[in-house]
Amino acid sequence: MADPADALTSTREGTVLLLDVNSKAKADRFPAGYNEWRHAIGCSITTPPVEGKANRAIVALLSRTLTIPQSGISILSGATSSQKRVLIQGMTFEQLAGFLRERCPR
């Protein structure tokens, strides 16, 4: 059975989350499912990917949803791609894995 925790990697700096982003969606949503082939968590945002606006919207959405400061979230790679690696500081691997397991449809 697919486990959303497969989208996570624990590091010394925090937990790295693999995101599969859908921009220009009808509504902001995180998590928006789990892609078991890419081992990535879905993230939908209404903001278009223009001049970094979508990346800022992703950080804001994750901050609101995970209830951690925006300063604890940074995009490590994929700034111009729909697939992103995001560093989450302020939540342990176990906390983020539990959150995703509760909220990701499998």
Domain ranges of the chain: 4-100
The domain made up of 4-100 has a fold known as: Conserved Hypothetical Protein Mth637; Chain: A; (3.30.1200)
Total-model pTM = 0.92
List, for the chain, all residue ranges whose pLDDT scores fall below the cut of 50.
none
For residue 58, give the nearest of 37, 35, 39, 82 by alpha carbon: 82
Residues in the chain: 106
- Please give the angle made by the CA atoms of 8, 75 and 96, to the nearest 5 degrees: 30
pLDDT value for 106: 56
